[in-house]
């Protein structure tokens, strides 16, 4: 849909409320603190920022660049998404050309090249970039954001300081959601916020995108609306399945799984939600560990392509067997009179 003349598209909350200074970055205080020390010293090394998506890797390095470069930020920073521009031509073309570009900077400062999703770059492109890092080390610094630092070749890893990010805690995501929703004057209830946190799994980007999508679609953030937008199995249904399995009641537990399957959820959706609910379910500790082990084995098989209802029903049967082995007997079924 094209906006009418004079009408502006609504800016994504993710960009609208992106922190511009390092003090505003949420979570990973130790790692962000190291970046603040680098900013104070004014001598930034080549960096690899490794961690799950939505934890503030790109945001924190952009904030670092703004702090160090000030007014020269626009001219002295090149930001690329390496998952799109990942071939050797980009390294030989855009990256090398930027490294050669003359920019007036304060004494002791360097141009900064930020590469998002750097672990998606081909090995040839990484080898070419290693050479560029060597040739222009006096004027240019690289910041490589990636999910898995192991996919960056060893010669580049040895030239960089590695900073590791972890998933954000529920409390950190909740605090930021409260701030953004208050600024947007968006109506919500506490159950809706819990649903946003559950679907985000420590990913701030996912939490803000889901919140904005729910507001755009329904105008109110509640549990039902969030799960409709995110299209994930409702955790209350999954909890019913686990509680029935803990009582060794296969028929009840499997009926929930079949209902979810008939609604169109794939095995990966169901198994993933089972795991996340099982982690927080108040079960006996030994039984919980057995449940998580069996769910993990099933998750592995589903990832191998065995994504069928039979596979998920088999998982439910194994969960019931785990409960039965602990001496739990399934509830007696009422007989229906003929």
Residues 62-97: tens digit of each pLDDT: 988 888 888 888 888 888 875 566 667 777 778 888
pLDDT of residue 328: 67
**DSSP-assigned beta bridge partners for residue 6:** none
What residues does CATH 1.10.8.60 cover in the chain? Answer: 170-230
Rounded distance between C-alpha atoms, residue 333 and residue 314, angstroms: 21
| 170-230: CATH, from 1.10.10.10, 3.40.50.300, 1.10.3720.10, 1.10.8.60 | 1.10.8.60
- Arithmetic mean of pLDDT, 115-128: 84
Handedness of CA 29, 31, 32, 34 (dihedral sign): positive
Strands 111-116, 140-146: pairing kind = parallel
- Contact residues for 329 (Cβ-Cβ < 8 A; gap 6+): 248
Rounded distance between C-alpha atoms, residue 208 and residue 191, angstroms: 16
Count the Cβ atoms, other than its own, within 10 Å of residue 159.
15
165 DSSP assignment = -
Higher pLDDT, 200 or 333: 200
pTM of the model: 0.78
pLDDT of residue 40: 83
What residues does CATH 3.40.50.300 cover in the chain? Answer: 13-164
CATH code: domain 235-325 is 1.20.272.10
Percent of all residues in the chain with a pLDDT value above 90, rounded to a whole number: 25
- For residue 117, name the pLDDT band (cuts at 50, 70, 90): confident
- For residue 311, name the pLDDT band (cuts at 50, 70, 90): very high
Phi-psi region of 70 (alpha: psi -120 to 50; beta: other; left: phi over 0): left
Question: Are 173 and 204 spatial neighbours (Cβ–Cβ below 8 Å)?
Answer: yes
Alpha-helix runs per DSSP H in 201-308: 204-218, 223-230, 235-246, 250-262, 267-280, 285-303
Topology of 13-164 in CATH? Rossmann fold (3.40.50)
């Amino acid at each position: 849909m094209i906006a009418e003349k004079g009408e502006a598209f609504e800016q994504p909350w993710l960009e609208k409320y992106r922190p511009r200074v390092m003090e505003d970055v949420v979570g990973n205080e130790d790692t962000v603190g190291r970046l603040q020390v680098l900013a104070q010293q004014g001598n930034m090394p080549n960096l690899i920022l490794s961690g799950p998506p939505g934890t503030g890797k790109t945001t924190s390095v952009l904030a670092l660049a703004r702090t160090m470069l000030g007014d020269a930020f626009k001219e002295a920073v090149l930001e690329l998404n390496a998952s799109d521009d990942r071939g050797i031509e980009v390294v030989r073309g855009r990256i090398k050309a930027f490294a050669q570009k003359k920019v007036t900077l304060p004494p002791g400062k360097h141009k900064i090249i930020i590469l998002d999703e750097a672990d998606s770059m081909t090995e040839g492109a990484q080898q070419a970039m290693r050479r560029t890092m060597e040739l222009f080390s006096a004027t240019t610094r690289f910041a490589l954001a990636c999910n898995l630092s192991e996919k960056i070749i060893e010669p580049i890893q040895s030239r960089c300081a590695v900073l590791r990010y972890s998933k954000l805690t529920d409390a950190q995501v909740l605090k930021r959601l409260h701030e953004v929703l208050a600024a947007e004057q968006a109506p919500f209830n506490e159950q809706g916020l819990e649903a946003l946190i559950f679907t985000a799994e420590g990913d701030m980007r996912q939490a803000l995108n889901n919140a904005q999508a729910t507001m755009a679609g329904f105008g109110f953030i509640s549990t039902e609306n969030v799960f409709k937008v995110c299209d994930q199995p409702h955790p209350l249904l999954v909890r019913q399945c686990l509680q029935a399995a803990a009582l060794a009641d296969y028929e009840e537990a499997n009926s929930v799984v079949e209902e979810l399957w008939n609604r169109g959820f794939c095995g990966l959706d169901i198994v993933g939600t089972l795991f996340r609910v099982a982690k927080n379910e108040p079960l006996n500790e030994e039984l919980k560990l057995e449940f998580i082990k069996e769910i993990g084995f099933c998750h592995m098989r589903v990832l191998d392509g065995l994504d069928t209802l039979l596979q998920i029903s088999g998982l439910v049967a194994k969960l019931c067997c785990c409960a039965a082995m602990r001496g739990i007997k399934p509830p007696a079924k009422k007989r229906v009179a003929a």
